[in-house]
Amino acid sequence: MRRAQPASVVRGTLVVVAALSCLRCGPPPPPPADGGVPDAGIDGVIVLGTTDDQGAFAPLEGPVDGIPGSQGGFHVNVLYRLPEGAAGSITFEHQVRRVRDERLVSRGSRTYDVGLTRVPTWETPSPVTVFMCPTPVGVDIIGEALRFSVTVKDGEGRPFATGSSTATFRCGSSAGAFCASICKG
């Protein structure tokens, strides 16, 4: 008859097995000689877009109308498209800057789980709400060219794609005088 092992022996055995498994993997690869970020498996760009009148993907360029938000501000809907695909958890970090002086207007991030299997092309399932107004004090964005820049990072926080688009913010016909008052800084 076999005797049961005490829990401490079982735990100790598991720790040794786990440690030996890690040794088999070897050390992590050294950082690139140029000081850049190690390759996360995908070198690429992200394409920024918005939706056209029929709801289809359209490049984020030219005039864009501020959309009233539920809390009284205005935002722009942006779609992110990775033409070279992705897998796992990915984070999109965005910044919006006024082109003429690089003043920060908005920044934020969104994380998506794309799934374990690499997909050849991936797009946000719905537009990302990029908050625009009220703007920081002294930052007028109405009729101004704005640069929307996005960096995409993998689950380890390593950047693997970047992209930007320039569009001109306007209040739009349905926004009224309130937009003009809070988007002028």
Domains, the chain, in order of start with CATH, read 37-182 (2.60.40.2550)
- How many Å apart are CA 110 and CA 94, to the nearest integer? 9
Q: Say what the pLDDT of residue 27 is.
A: 44
Task: Enter the pTM of the model.
Answer: 0.73
Alpha helix stretches (DSSP H) within 4-141: 7-25
- How many Å apart are CA 132 and CA 182, to the nearest integer? 10
Which range of 35-39, 74-78, 120-124 scores highest in mean pLDDT? It is: 74-78
Q: Are 103 and 141 in contact (CB under 8 A)?
A: no
Range list of β-strands (E), the chain: 44-45, 47-51, 57-59, 62-65, 67-68, 74-82, 89-98, 104-113, 122-123, 128-133, 145-153, 159-170
Q: Does the structure show a pLDDT above 60 at 64?
A: yes
- The confidence band for 149, taking pLDDT boundaries of 50, 70 and 90, is very high
Q: 162-176: per-residue pLDDT in tens?
A: 999 999 999 987 777
- How many Å apart are CA 151 and CA 46, to the nearest integer? 8
Residue at 74: amino acid letter: F
182 phi and psi angles, rounded to 5 deg: -100, -10
Residue (of 89, 107, 87) closest to 97 by Cα position? 107
Residue 165's DSSP bridge partners are 148
Average confidence (pLDDT) over 75-81: 93
Average confidence (pLDDT) over 150-162: 91
Using a pLDDT cut of 90, give the percent of the chain over it: 43
More confident residue, 151 or 43: 151
Q: 13-41: per-residue pLDDT in tens?
A: 433 333 433 333 344 444 444 443 344 44
